[in-house]
Structure 1
Amino acid sequence: MPTECIPYRETNYFTTLILDYLSGKEELKEFYNRFPKLENFEEQIKEKSSFPAENRKILAEVLENQYAEVNTSEKTRQHIEALKSENSFTVVTGHQLNLFTGPLYFLYKIISTINLTKELKEKYPDFHFVPVYWMATEDHDFEEISFFNLNGKKFQWAKTPKNAGLDAVGQLSTEGLEDVFKLFSAEIGGGKNAETLKNLFEKAYLEHENLTDATRYLANELFKEQGLVILDGQDKDLKKLFIPFAKNELLEQKSHQATSPTAEKLNKLGYKVQVNPREINLFYLHNGLRERIIEREGEYFVHETEIKWSKDEILKELNNYPERFSPNVMLRPLYQEVVLPNLCYIGGGGEIAYWLELKAYFEAENITFPILLLRNSVLLQSEKLDKKRQKLNISNKELFLKQHELINRKVRQISNIDIDFSEQKEHLVNQFQEMYSLAKKTDKSFLGAIKAQEVKQLKGLDNLEKRLLKAQKRKLEDEVNRITILQNKLFPNKSLQERQTNFSEVYAEMGPKLISELLKKLDPLDQEFKILTFEE
């Protein structure tokens, strides 16, 4: 599988904040502890070595319970056991419970995580490193997780009577996915790879009662041989470890106090703030309800309900039922680092952006801030598409241009006439410079008239250039169509493939080699965009 790399800055798909973070810009260094380089993990290990032994014991017990009915690999079992040891650490990624993995970057996140643990083991052989996928079972945005795209078609899971009123997606019944499975089976067709995918979908979603169990089965089947450990954070014993921090949130609004100044600093530096913190960043999760907690004049309310407590009552509720207190996006990172002996969080650009808001909050709670690593990004193309690209004389880098820019560039290149009027415009500007000089020597009142005439004539040349280009596009319609089809195939909905395409579309062509080749080719610390070409 040939590989080509492109700097993230040249893809035009990543924010200034992420590009500046990757380049190690000085102004951003106060927002994180250590840059993701292999040698920096030595100090991270030392700092995280203070992780409590009791937390390790509880974590391992929770995982053993969650895996009690799961047919997993010996390697995953060994990783769970290893977490009891003080010289074991995790590398973690998190993701929503997207239907049938959702977009391709689900795979890239987990593969980045697995591969980093391998590199760490080579560098620091005296320690154990465990790859962890944190399932976002407490999220409540059904619309975001209820579909996937295959061959340009959207496969949508509709809410059912059993799921009505349920906000935490992990609790959702898998009822109604039979219809999605039928449509998927018809679309994916026949053949060995297609049958594997159908079997995977059927066992995950039609033989498990809720979305948490279905997603655990699916991720385990895809990555158990690499020892991936899958964790559901919605657990009473884990939530007990978070009680002191949830209490600080309720009584002192600690995250808001710590992160608001950070968000303001980032904003002043010219960066878009990813998440604006609320005063209380906790939800109340009970009986299908997940709604935010609000404090007013010493009393606590659950938004849009009649549930309310005094200060003493809510603290009693927290101590008795910690599982009912659900961290939002601002608190989930802290919760994760409280319950995991974690060294590094691997996420997409949006995730890294909101983690960069949190360092001061971690310091206020005396919790080690993890190393932040941008997950691998990949464009997968078949040999057939790659040959079409080469025949059209399009470089891999040019594929990332906006479509109109790519077409205009190629039309100019293959046209048998010159459609670039830059030379004529330069000549015109030079002529008008002479006229400006003449006017200054004679009558300066003519300067405005000369300027108006210059603008008019330059605009005329622009219009002529555009008309000529348009005419050539019509003349070269076949080439334009082939360029458009190629780019639309590789960038569906004019977006990165990894944000749109489901893994099943590529697996149907590649089979098991999809994951094995990604594991071979993706170096999580090599911070460039990868283009991989595969045999069909």
Structure 2
Amino acid sequence: MNVIPEALRSGSPLAEHYLRYDEAIHHLYEYDFRDAGSYAARAEWLDRTEDTRVDRQDIVRFLRSYNRRLNSHPAVMESIERLAQPNALVISGGQQSGLFTGSLLVIYKAATIIKAAREAEMKLNRPVVPVFWIAGEDHDWDEVDHTYMMTADLNITKVRMPGRYDGRASVSLVSVDRENWLEAIHKLEELLPDTEFKPGLISDIKAAVQDDNLSLSDVFAKMMGQLFGSYGLVLLDSADPELRALEVPIFERMIEDNDALERCYHESAGHVVTSGFGMQAEVTADCANIFYIHEGSRLLLHKENGKFIDRRGYVSFTKTELIDILKQHPERFSNNVLTRPLMQDSLLPVLSTVLGHAEIAYWALTKEAFHRFGLRMPILQPRMSFTILDQHIQKLMDKYDLSFHDIQYAFNDKKDTWLSTLDEFNMNEQFELLKTSFHKLYAPVLEQLNQIEPGLGRLGVTNSSKIEEQISYMQLRTKQAIAQRHDASVKQWDTLDLTLFPMKRPQERVYNVYGYLNRYGTRWLTDLMNIPADLSGHHHILYL
């Protein structure tokens, strides 16, 4: 496995500036992730503020309980015991639970958390524990109930959890029948080609769904444990009721100080916009940035006439009433994207948190809220980013003289240029000449038709358009016929496109890890974990 740096479009100018940590964004963040001094400064601040977070031993007891149930590898339990030490710190990061772990970026984020924890421990000479935060409180079922595989016949196939859930409950609170799990596994098994690794992989996945009525988050945790438990990766589900009980004081502060927090989010949003960047997440006027669970539905609370309400009119509470409910039923409360960072840092001694580009961008909205809460934004560590490229794909790129940059930015143009070389009769050029000649010959006719009768002129324009349309149609059909004569080569181009940029998106945002584990075995993951850590946030090609 060779690793080569290669640029990848991020879609976030703010995140690109953050990777360089240039002057334009200094005031939006707390630390420069590239500076070793940032880690020492952050660790010193965490030591001084230990008593401002939830009691460390309470968090450790929760993590023991949760991980014993779903992620009980000895290395994980050892990590939790290390976290109990008063000088232990955390590298955190998280993602929504996804079917069969979701897309490859989840794997890369977990790997980054582990590698960043190792690096920080060596820099600081003190325990640093990797913690993966499962965003099980999110309620968008359609975002997590599927994953994508590429089939042998070059189709991108969506594997979806059978059945449908139309409610707004947190994903971790939605139980899935074992029969539905087995049906989804059967679909995955059908799609995976037969290899020496396939039986073991399917067996492991089935082992993760042995119990009845497991949620997507439960199985996600078990599968992540199978992949990363041996590296000591500690898991945490943000929707776990046991964790909610520990979060009561933090939610109470969020409710008591809600107006000031809202002003902080708007102030940070203003800083982002005046720095020349677009809004990174929605900062809505009078939004409480807290969800309330009502009869199984996760409702975003807003403020109106001194009360906390939802837009649908289901609930309405005074501040005092909401705090009373919080103390009796903490499981009814949930964070949104702007308050989750505050919750994470109120629970854990977070040295740095691993984020994707979009997350780095919207975290810029939280700096003032951190300060209001008596916290500091942690070091934001960009996650590692990869495209897997094997020998077969590299040979095709060499054959057609294509670079990764070409496929990312100019694939269609390069393909059209190549197709034009197959046109031995210069048919495309002849069709273009035909269209130009026809337009030139018909123009004076149209002018004369208008002089005879305006209606004839309008009919002539319609007639001209139809003829030009038919010429273009013949041009396209001729192009397709030429391509069909070279069908094997065209499929090779399609293979390049679908392998590296499926659905016109980076590979890591689409394909599931089990397609690669099935082809290369778990050694692929071992090799990924053993390559030298590059925590610069830049994209790399994994040559296999």
TM-score (structure 2 length as normaliser): 0.82
Letter in 2 for 1:263: A
Residues 328-367 of structure 1, C-alpha deviations (whole Å, 9 max, x = no match): 1111111011101111111111111111111111011111
Counterpart-to-counterpart distance in 2, 1:319 and 1:91: 30
SS for the counterpart of 2:176 is coil
| CA displacement, residues 254-306 of structure 1 (integer Å, 9 cap, x when unaligned) | 33210112212222333222212232000112542211123221223244253
Q: Identify which of 521, 529, 535 aligns with 2:531.
A: 521
Shift of 1:481: 5.2
In the TM superposition, 1:304-453 aligns within 5 A as 304-407=312-415
1:62 shift after superposition: 0.6
Residue 100 (structure 2) pairs with residue 96 (structure 1) = no
* Contact 1:266 1:273 (C-alpha < 8 Å) held by counterparts: yes
* Whole-angstrom CA distance in 1 between matches of 2:525 and 2:147: 19
Q: Counterpart of 1:197? A: 201
Contact 1:285 1:291 in 2 (8 A): yes
- 1:483 Cα deviation after fit: 2.9
Structure 1 residues 131 and 304: CA distance shift in structure 2, 3 A: same
- Aligned AA (2:118): K
Give the residue type in structure 2 aligned to 1:130.
V
Higher alpha-carbon deviation: 200-209 or 339-348: 200-209
- Does structure 2 conserve the Cα–Cα contact (< 8 Å) formed by 1:177 and 1:206? no
Partners of 1:367 and 1:473 in 2: how far apart?
Answer: 65
1:155 aligns to what SS in structure 2?
strand
Q: CA 1:140–1:522 in 2, change beyond 3 Å: closer, same or farther? A: farther
Q: Distance in 1 between matches of 2:410 and 2:248?
A: 49
Partner of 1:451: none
Question: Deviation of residue 411 (structure 1)?
Answer: 6.7
In structure 2, do the counterparts of structure 1 residues 71 and 165 end up closer, same or farther at CA, with 3 Å as the change threshold? closer
Which amino acid letter does the alignment assign opposite residue 69 of structure 1? Answer: R
Distance across 2 between alignment mates of 1:376 and 1:71: 23
- Look up the equivalent residue of 1:505 and give its one-letter code: G
Provide closer, same or farther for how the CA distance between residues 74 and 472 of structure 1 changes in structure 2, counting only shifts above 3 A.
Answer: closer
- Indicate yes or no: 2:271 matched with 1:269: no
- Return the match for 1:227 from 232, 246, 262: 232
Following superposition, the deviation at residue 245 of structure 1 comes to: 4.0
Preserved CA contact (<8 Å) 1:83 1:89: yes
The answer to whether the 8 Å contact 2:50/2:349 transfers is yes
- Could you tell me how far apart the structure 1 residues matched to 2:239 and 2:57 are? 17
More deviation, 169-178/99-108: 169-178
Q: In the alignment, does 2:23 pair up with 1:19?
A: no
d(CA) in 2 for partners of 1:123, 1:415? 61
Distance 1:412 1:36, change over 3 A: farther
2:9 aligned partner, one-letter code: N
Match of 1:185 in 2: 189
How far apart are the structure 2 equivalents of 1:170 and 1:378?
Answer: 29
Q: Does the 8 A contact of 1:255 with 1:277 survive in 2?
A: no
**SS at 2:128 equivalent:** strand
Query: 1:257 is matched with which residue: 263, 266, 274?
Result: 263
Bigger CA drift: 98-107 or 272-281? 272-281
2-structure distance, mates of 1:90, 1:157: 33
The structure-2 alpha-carbon separation of the partners of 1:531 and 1:307, relative to structure 1 and needing over 3 Å to count, comes to same
**SS of aligned partner of 1:48:** helix
List per-residue Cα deviations over 1:497-529 (Å, max 9, x = no partner). Answer: 001100011111111112111112362413321
Checking the alignment, whether the CA contact within 8 Å between 2:301 and 2:308 is kept in structure 1 is yes
Q: Which residue does 1:61 correspond to in 2?
A: 61
Moved more, 362-371 or 201-210: 201-210
Report SS of the residue matched to 2:68. coil
Distance in 2 of aligned mates of 1:264 and 1:92: 28
- The residue matched to 1:69 in structure 2 has which SS? helix
How many pairs align? 480
SS at match of 1:4: strand
SS at match of 1:30: helix
Aligned amino acid, residue 225 of structure 1: S
C-alpha contact (below 8 Å) 2:267/2:368 kept by paired residues:
no
Structure-2 change in CA distance of 1:288 and 1:31 (3 Å): same
Give the secondary-structure state (helix, strand or coil) at the position aligned to 1:368: coil
Displacement of 1:409 after TM fit?
Answer: 6.3
CA–CA distance in 1 between the matches of 2:70 and 2:532?
28
Confirm or deny: 8 A CA contact 2:109 2:354 kept in the other structure: yes
Quick one: which amino acid aligns to residue 157 of structure 2? K
Change in 2 beyond 3 A, CA 1:485/1:68: closer
Task: Provide the aligned C-alpha RMSD in A.
Answer: 2.8
Deviations 1:142-170 (A, max 9, x none): 0000001112111111445xx56451100
CA distance in 2, matches of 1:414, 1:377: 37
Say if 1:318 and 1:325, in contact at 8 Å, map to a contact too. Answer: yes
The answer to whether the 8 Å contact 1:91/1:131 transfers is yes
Q: How far apart are the structure 2 equivalents of 1:309 and 1:256?
A: 18
Cα shift readout 1:438-467 (whole Å, capped 9, x = no counterpart): xxxxxxxxxxxxxxxxxxxxxxxxxxxxx9
Corresponding position of 1:138: 137
Asked whether the equivalents of residues 79 and 229 of structure 1 are also in contact (C-alpha less than 8 Å), the reply is yes
Between the aligned partners of 1:412 and 1:521, the Cα distance in structure 2 is 42
Relative to structure 1, is the Cα distance of residues 235 and 26 closer, same or farther in structure 2, using a 3 angstrom cutoff? Answer: same
- Residue 298 (structure 1) aligned with residue 324 (structure 2): no
Give 1:37 shift.
Answer: 2.3
Displacement after TM superposition at 1:237 (Å):
5.3
468, 471, 496: which one aligns with 1:486: 496
Question: Unpaired segments of 5 or more residues in structure 2?
Answer: 151-155, 427-474
* Residue in 1 that maps onto 2:173: 171
Distance 1:489 1:321 in 2: 48
Mapped pair 1:155 → 2:159: yes
Matching residue of 1:288: 296
Note the C-alpha offset of 1:174. 2.0
Greater displacement, 102-111 / 267-276: 267-276
Segment drifting more, 406-415 vs 177-186: 406-415
Alignment partner of 1:47 out of 45, 48, 57: 45
| Larger deviation, residues 260-269 vs 223-232 | 260-269
Q: Aligned pair in 2 of structure 1 residues 491, 195: CA closer, same or farther (>3 Å)?
A: same
Equivalent residue number for residue 116 of structure 2? 116
CA distance in structure 2 between the aligned counterparts of 1:352 and 1:13, rounded to whole angstroms:
11
CA–CA distance in structure 2, aligned partners of residues 303 and 78 of structure 1: 46
For residue 295 of structure 1, give the secondary structure of its aligned residue in structure 2: strand
CA distance in 2, matches of 1:484, 1:306: 51
- CA gap of 1:203–1:299, structure 2 versus 1, over 3 A, is same
Give me the TM-score of the superposition, normalised by structure 1. 0.83
1:395-442 Cα shifts (integer Å, max 9, x gaps): 233232232233356679999999xxxxxxxxxxxxxxxxxxxxxxxx
Structure 1 position 246 matched with structure 2 position 251: yes
Secondary structure, counterpart of 1:281 in structure 2:
strand
Whole-angstrom CA distance in 1 between matches of 2:269 and 2:532: 33
- Quick one: distance in 1 between partners of 2:172 and 2:200? 25
Conserved in 2, the CA contact under 8 Å of 1:88 and 1:129? yes
5+ residue gaps, structure 1? 419-466
Partner residue, 1:510: 520
Secondary structure of the equivalent of 2:377?
coil
